[in-house]
Structures are given as C-alpha cells and as structure tokens.
C-alpha cells in the first residue's frame, strides 16, 4: 500500500516567491496534519483537518501561510510570499479515526528559501 | 497546555548496550502516549503506543510503560543495534484533541 505522498521532496526558492507543497494522504484516512520541523523549534503542528475541514490552525505562523483540503485525497500548504525563516522540513501526516491517533507521516519536503 | 519533555541528546552507546530514553509529560485528563522514530532523511514512524495507565507498548525489542503516577513514558531496549541509530520522539495525544504534541527528540547513535 502507498503511504503518505508528498511533493516536491526538495524545493529551493528565492525570498518573495510563492511556494506550494502537496500531500496525498493514505486512502481511507480522514484526518490530515501539516507539521514543520526545524533545528531551533523541533516539530510543530501547523494545521490539521478532519473530514476535509480545518479543525485547528492555531499553529499557522502568519497570514503568509494557508492550507486547503479540497477533497479527501489531496491537500496543499502554500506560503506567499516566502521568507528565509520559512526554511524547514514540512511533513504531512494522516490518520484514521478510531486508531488512537496513529499518524502516518510522509517523507517530508525540504524547503530552502534564499 | 500539554507538553512533553525528553532527555537531551545525543545518546551514544555501543552495540548490545542497554538503552533508556526518558520522557515525561504534562497533560490534563488521560492522554494517549507514543514513541515515534525518525531515520535519516525519512519521516516519522510510529514505534509503539500506550493508551491508558500501566499499559506497556512494545515493538522491535523496544518497550515503554505508561506511568500516570510519575507522568512518564520512558523508552527502553535491552540490546541496541547499529540500525537503531535514529532520532526518537515522545508524543502525546491529549483528551479531546486529536493532534499530537511532540517532545524535542533524542538522537541515538549506536557504535559497532
């Protein structure tokens, strides 16, 4: 079975550019999570969706960040405009209600903003 | 709010040594507790979990017991291997909140 799929795996962009990260959760999972991992701050939850609806976006750093889940099999995290401090590894994870929050993580997108 | 505290790393051990990575938590109610492992260049993988007090989670030789009286969930393994080298994250899922709160991670390096 395919796991959580993220694209691209690596992204290098210049400050001010728009960046879009993509995630395909595991089929049948109804919760999706976006995390950011940095050396300084560790692993932080940005936002999570349940049944395609955003439940908690309190971790989204600022208005430059936005996330959407138009259907059960696809989500995007967009940064516009990007800044060097956004450089991090961004993980998407999904889980199935009833499994005590066993989250399955994708391989991550390493974002570098120069 | 909920929080998880892990011991600072890196932890460096020789092959076949005994491993303990300490984890304590703060949460209201009765959280579920997890250990995740991250190998270099990969995403996190669930290693083991416990959902109520005194439960013991185990997998691949690793064990952790949910201790409510000490609010702890320490990870142990009797004999580590080089292939266990990775970063280990303790996490909890608080009552009514389905997102995970992670500790800062502990890097384990096992030398042959």
CB atoms B97 and A56 under 8 Å: yes
Average pLDDT over residues A71-89: 96
CB atoms B104 and A105 under 8 Å: no
**What residue of B is the nearest CA neighbor of A5?**
B43
Task: Assess contact for B10 and B107: CB atoms under 8 A.
Answer: yes
Alpha-carbon separation of residue B3 from B59, B94, B102, B110 (angstroms): 24, 10, 8, 28
For the stretch A29-74, pLDDT in tens is 999 999 999 988 888 899 999 999 998 898 898 899 999 999 999 9
Q: If pLDDT is split at 50, 70 and 90, which confidence band does A96 have? A: confident
pLDDT at A98 over 70: no
Q: If pLDDT is split at 50, 70 and 90, which confidence band does B96 have? A: low
What residues of chain B lie within 8 A of the CB of A97, using their CB?
98
Please tell me the predicted confidence (pLDDT) of residue A15.
97
The minimum CA-CA distance between A21 and chain B, rounded to whole Å, is 15
Please tell me the predicted confidence (pLDDT) of residue A5.
96
**Is the backbone of residue A59 left (phi > 0), alpha (psi -120 to 50) or beta?**
alpha
Distant-in-sequence, close-in-space partners of A39: CB < 8 Å, separation ≥ 6 = none
For the stretch A7-31, pLDDT in tens is 999 999 999 999 999 999 999 999 9
CB atoms A42 and B105 under 8 Å: yes
Please tell me the predicted confidence (pLDDT) of residue A99.
58
Average pLDDT over residues B7-31: 93
Q: How much of chain B exceeds pLDDT 90, in percent?
A: 78
CB atoms A106 and B43 under 8 Å: yes
For the stretch B77-89, pLDDT in tens is 999 999 999 999 9
Please tell me the predicted confidence (pLDDT) of residue A100.
53
CB atoms B44 and A93 under 8 Å: yes
Interchain CB contact of A91 with B (< 8 Å): yes
Interchain CB contact of A50 with B (< 8 Å): yes
Please tell me the predicted confidence (pLDDT) of residue B98.
67
């Amino acid at each position: 079975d395919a796991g959580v799929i993220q694209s691209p795996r690596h992204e290098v962009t210049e400050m001010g550019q728009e960046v879009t990260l993509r995630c395909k959760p595991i089929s049948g999972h109804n919760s999706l999570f976006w995390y950011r991992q940095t050396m300084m701050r560790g692993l932080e939850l940005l936002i999570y969706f349940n049944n395609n609806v955003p439940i908690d976006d309190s971790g989204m750093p600022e208005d430059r960040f936005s996330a959407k889940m138009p259907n059960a099999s696809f989500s995007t995290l967009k940064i516009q405009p990007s800044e060097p401090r956004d450089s991090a590894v961004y993980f998407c994870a999904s889980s199935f209600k009833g499994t005590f929050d066993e989250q399955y993580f994708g391989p991550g997108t390493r974002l570098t903003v120069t | 709010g909920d929080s998880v505290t892990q011991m600072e790393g890196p932890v460096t051990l020789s092959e076949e040594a005994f491993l303990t990575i300490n984890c304590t938590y703060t949460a209201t109610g009765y959280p579920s507790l997890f250990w995740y492992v991250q190998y270099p260049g990969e995403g996190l993988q669930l290693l083991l979990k416990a959902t109520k007090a005194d439960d013991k989670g185990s997998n691949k030789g690793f064990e952790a017991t949910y201790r409510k009286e000490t609010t702890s969930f320490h990870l142990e393994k009797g004999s580590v291997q080089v292939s266990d080298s990775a970063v280990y994250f303790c996490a909890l899922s608080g009552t009514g909140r389905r997102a995970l709160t992670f500790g800062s991670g502990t890097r384990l390096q096992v030398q042959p």
